Amino acid sequence: MSTSSSAAAAVVTEGSAARRFWIAASSREAAFASYTPFLLSLAAGTLRLDSFRQYIAQDAHFLHAFARAYEMAEECADDDDDKATITVLRKAILRELNLHASVLEEWGVDPTKEIPPSPATTKYTNFLLATATGKVNGGKGSDKMVTPFEKTKIAAYTVGAMTPCMRLYAYLGKELAVFLKQDENHQYKKWIETYASSDFEDNALQIEELLDKLSVSLTGEELEIIGKLYQQAMRLEVEFFSAQPVDQHVVAPLSRYCDPKDKLLIFCDFDLTCTVVDSSAVLAEIAILSYQKASQDIGIVVGSSTTLRRVGKQFGVSFVPLFPGLVEKQRRIAKEESSIFKARSGILYTVSSWSEIQAFILGNYYS
């Protein structure tokens, strides 16, 4: 991380409204975004180019709306430093649009050719621009705002609706960058590196720091409104990724090709729920034995029980994080007859939350 981003991170971490909003939203939405067929296939490097081209075209509509929202937020901001920060962020979006155009040109697609926005794209851009015009909770609109404070509040609302997108993309960039190390010829390397870069992280930290600064003078009720806008933006981003057409076999969501109740074995970190202190040792052995008898099932461990791992080691069982396991399976699909997820012998998959399991089963919580 660069020196500038390290300094900004310190500001954003300590008592940060932006940080609180991200923690509240990311516990569910980040997992739902990662487990969409689009991002899972992209991580594996097997996403078909036609699907990626359509995504780029849709994302361009979103970025144009983002650039416009920055302009509107800059008009409402009262502080010169805030205006300067917004200008820097808007220029970064314009550079991102140029990147999209160059990618399309490389693939022989005319970037000036109008491709209509999808319903999911329109839903997001309408929400963003409505927020930027002050149409929040029956607001009267920025054009009717009189005092600098009223306008600054609209700038805060707008930035609050934009920040989650920046943070989510930075998060996904880092998550997906891991898979570039496993495949030097990953066809989406350039896209992943853009969002995993220190420059993009700096931009995400800048807008989070700006959100914190704009939020200082707001009331508790107004901060609550920003929190709801942040959450709504995250949900719309998940819908955007979920709506990307993926015309190929995928290993998730599981509910697409089988009944999860006939396929899953889920093992909990038992001592979090049982009152008997020694319960995990006994139940862990039962879990391992049950798994060994049903090797075609998908065994998923929720939590971080050291007892379960110790017992598993005795039975020759390995523990693999679920998402990387799915990416590995996605890479093998082309060489196999079926995309149905079959667990490898002696493997239990691990997740940090129930949201990951729900994302794996359903794809997202709107399904």
Enumerate the active-site residues: 165, 237
Q: Which residue has the tokens 């010169």?
A: 80
Instruction: Report the alpha-carbon distance of residue 348 to residue 320 in Å, rounded.
Output: 6
Q: Is 14 helix (H, G, I), strand (E, B) or coil?
A: coil
User: Please, which residues bridge with residue 267 across strands?
Assistant: 301
Tell which phi-psi region holds residue 326, choosing left (phi > 0), alpha (psi between -120 and 50) or beta: alpha
Q: Is 100 helix (H, G, I), strand (E, B) or coil?
A: helix
Q: What tokens were used for 336? A: 């196999």
Are the C-beta atoms of residues 170 and 204 closer than 8 Å to each other? yes
Instruction: Report the alpha-carbon distance of residue 282 to residue 294 in Å, rounded.
Output: 19
Q: What DSSP letter does each residue of 306-326 carry, written as one string?
A: HHHHHHHHHTT-EEEEHHHHH
Across the beta sheet with 318-321, the strand order is 264-267, 298-302, 347-351, 318-321
